[in-house]
Amino acid sequence: MKILVVDDDAELRGLIGFALSQAGYAVIQAADGTQALTQFAAEQPELVILDVNMPGLDGFEVCRRIRAQSPVPVMLLTVRNSEDDLIRGLDGGADDYLNKPFSPRTLTARVRALLRRVGGERPTPLQQGDLMLDTERQSVSREGLGFVALTNREYRLLQYLLANAGRVVSNEQVTIHVWGHHGIGDRTLLKQLVHRLRQKIEPNPAEPQYLVTIPSVGYILQPNGAN
């Protein structure tokens, strides 16, 4: 299940994304309202978490535009605590409202509750091309093969790559997603993790077709294999 997280605060956006990925969700991020609408159209997430106080297109306007084209649930985040803002957000199509600051546990609990209300709490398998990630069993399958169990970090890595399939992701982006902003991840640990994941998804790990290294930059997941 994909969740779009929109906030102009990069650190908070990363922390929210990390908490949600640990809870079993695929996370797409956007840094402003314009990028949010682009990502929404491209990725079709099942839930949007949207900061109200952004420059340019604020959260209220982004929510209104999303609601005009989709019934997807929207949760607004704000430092404001006025009744007028609450009413404006809900009248504009938001389904829930969460005041900052909040804990990751509170956020994930509210996400689960919101998804229950709209009938989408149970995570669905994430599939791109030949690869399918079972988000409940934490396992992966490739076309023609059965499911193989993943460790927690292998799961978070593949989840992030599938959510960004066909796009180059930097070493830093992957490290933050897997280990968090203040985690212990580094390039050596990331290379080791990529090596282990390739053992589980590649027909020939020595010649990767799916998880391809982009030298000095990062990685790209090609879900149908390299041509």
More confident residue, 176 or 73: 73
More confident residue, 119 or 92: 92
More confident residue, 190 or 185: 190
Rounded mean pLDDT, 134-140 = 83
Residue 87, classed as helix, strand or coil, is helix
Q: pLDDT tens, 52-66?
A: 989 889 999 999 999
- Supply 140's token pair: 């992966």
Confidence class for position 123, pLDDT limits 50, 70, 90: low
Q: pLDDT tens, 37-46?
A: 999 998 889 8
pLDDT surpassing 90 at residue 6: yes
More confident residue, 115 or 85: 115
State how far the Cα of 210 lies from the Cα of 5, in Å rounded to an integer: 26
Going from the C-alpha of 123 to that of each of 29, 44, 55, 92, the distances in angstroms are 19, 15, 32, 27
Confidence class for position 152, pLDDT limits 50, 70, 90: confident
Rounded mean pLDDT, 152-177 = 87
